[in-house]
A and B are shown apart, each in its own frame.
Chain A
Amino acid sequence: MIEFQHVSFAYEKGREVIRDLSFRIGDGESVGLIGANGAGKSTVMKLMLGLVSGEGKILVDGEELTKQNLSLIRRKLGFVLQNSDNQMFMPTVYEDMMFAPLNYMLSREEAEKRVDAVLGRLGLQELKYRHNHRISGGEKRMAAIATVLAMEPEMILMDEPSSALDPYNRRLVINAIRELGQTKLISSHDLDMILDTCDRVILLSGGEIAADGPAEEILRDRALLESHHLELPLRLADK
């Protein structure tokens, strides 16, 4: 469970990018976070992870996010960064995937088992021993998703998971996301993917909530979407 209570945040003084934001995501929910470029989607995620801190309260499982419990709370959250280049820092995909499980005191054998399972599920066995800076942008994205799945977090935050992916891999990721039982928060401009993976949608605009409701409802509202630089998902536009 994640809850925002009147959260505001500014990167630079006087220019608030998140304004008095309040919402609540219950256990097991999958929520799509949508909005125009610069609406504040990535910032909301950074706030949740304590990568930046603003005014107001952020609660994870009823506990307020503070400096003291930061590492405990982070353990529950898995985050796929918008830019995978900044996520992968070990030389090979394999080592990167092992990183979190090892930090969480798994033995090497257990960690490796987990890594192999995730790679198998995403069909990425071939990437295992590849060097991170020698794989393509899309492969890197898949690998970054894999590193987070290997953490087996309680909640998963994904910032634009489908960008840079070809249709085949995009489909793989969508399927993988659907299979996850965890609470999910997914930010994306790929509204078709949001429609496929999320039950609920929060539409951000200028750091405020412009709409919050069932995905089927909001993603069908052409006027609402278009007034926020977005378009109907292709799947719904056909009809």
Chain B
Amino acid sequence: MDVLRTEFTLNDMPIEVTLPVRATLADAIRSTGATGTRVGCEEGICGSCTVLLDGRPARACLMLAAQARGREIRTVEGLAAGGRLHPVQESFRRHRALQCGYCTPGFMMLAVGLLEREPNASPERVRAVLASNLCRCTGYAPIVDAVLAAQQALAGEVI
């Protein structure tokens, strides 16, 4: 089987993987042991695999591993820093925004991507962006609440 070596940055660490050419970025990330990027559909719909690609949310299942060459990828494993959870992680816990937790990393990356680029996003905008990912357990309201609360928390940090 044809394999290909690809180098990219994963959570600020240079990474090199050798994988079949048909492997996706989700395969590549997961092959490093960072399995928090979940896979639920492999067709871009569910959002469980959402990561940040050069700071923007993207589906890791809709990109060949080879296409990640030289790019900056951030995943759930890169959120906590210095032994402290990211405010979005804290907020998901506090607002009970997860039940089974399968969708959680994807939702958090989606939210972090949004809040970093649009710290003043309106609640309507937040809800519209969150409609990109699927959760089968929570009914969404706790997720929306968690992201709106995290937005406040992040704003507080900046000030």
| B and A form one assembly | no
Identify the B interface with A (CB < 8 A): none
Identify the A interface with B (CB < 8 A): none
